[in-house]
Amino acid sequence: MLRPASRQLCTNLSINSITYKIPWTDIALLVGTALFTLALTSVAGAGGGTILIALMLLFMPPAAAIPAHGVVQLASNTWRLWLFRRHLAWPLIIRFSLLMPFGVALGLWLFQEMPKELVQVLIGFFVLLTLFLRHLKRFAPKESPLWAFVPLGFVTGALNMIVGVIAPVLGVLIIRKDLKKEDIVGTLGFFGFIGNLLKITAFTMIGLSFAEYGLLLLLMTAAVIIGTSVGKRVLSGFDEKTFLIVFNIMLIALALKLIVIDGLRALFGD
């Protein structure tokens, strides 16, 4: 059973610790990060959401960063969904959505039982897994059968509550011969839309007040829209190969910080 708002949201992390006031300097950095990561996605094709959650965890605890990240990503997914509304693979979407609410419920329950340090370790490992999968697309398994998207939706719902970012993994699994590039982008947009919508709903049901982060989320959402629209023009002067190398180094450094410094050292002591 899910715990009510008056109980702990996550071990060692109560509701009161989620509603702290964020300094203006941190707000400015997070808004700039949102703009940068969505511009990055325009150039790299993926990875923006991953680096955004990793950077948000530098300023916010997991119980605040994961749902807040969901709000920002929902804005991006909604815009992408509108742009690619004529390119949606409904047979995949229907199957994917069937069990996702049950996965979200399981993921929320697991999240409430986990120490925040363990959550940070899992997110760090997931960031590294994302990088690994991006470089192994040519070794991706055979295209998944339609029925596989039913359990995939369940697993995705659970993981999305705990690690916050699952799109890179889905991007590998959704590749099919019968889908065009536009179909893949649009369908992934819908997967992100429904996943983040359910995530936000679940955290709201156990008492998280998004009003505490209203200004931050509003500014980050605006940055997402701007970054999505003009990202490629802003970054067109950068050498793409060098840029992606720097990006990967940043992701690895952030992941190792989450795993070693924020996670394992806090769990097991210095």
pTM for this predicted structure = 0.74
Q: Which alpha helices (H) appear in 135-176, and where do they start and end?
A: 149-162, 167-173
Beta bridge partners of 11: 115
- Which one of 73-82, 206-215, 244-253 scores highest in mean pLDDT? 73-82
From first CA to last CA, the distance across the chain in angstroms is 35
Q: What pLDDT does residue 120 have?
A: 81
Query: Radius of gyration over alpha carbons of the chain, in Å?
Result: 18
The per-residue DSSP string of 29-68 comes to HHHHHHHHHHHHHHHHSS-HHHHHHHHHTTTS-HHHHHHH
Instruction: Give CA–CA dist 185/50, Å, rounded.
Output: 17
Q: What is the pLDDT of residues 9-58, one digit of tens each?
A: 433 333 344 444 667 777 788 888 777 776 666 555 456 677 788 778 88
Which of the pair, 210 or 121, is modelled with greater confidence? 121
Share of the chain above pLDDT 70, in %: 74
Q: Which residues of 74-87 are buried (b: 16+ CB within 10 A; e: fewer)?
A: bbbbbbbbeebeeb
Determine the average pLDDT of the residues in 200-204. 90
Both tokens assigned to 46:
């993926």
Task: Give the pLDDT band (50/70/90) at residue 194.
Answer: very high
Dihedrals phi, psi of 115, to nearest 5 degrees: -65, 145
Q: How confident is the model at residue 135, as a pLDDT?
A: 64
What are 115's strand-pairing partners?
11
Q: Which residue has the higher pLDDT, 36 or 122?
A: 122
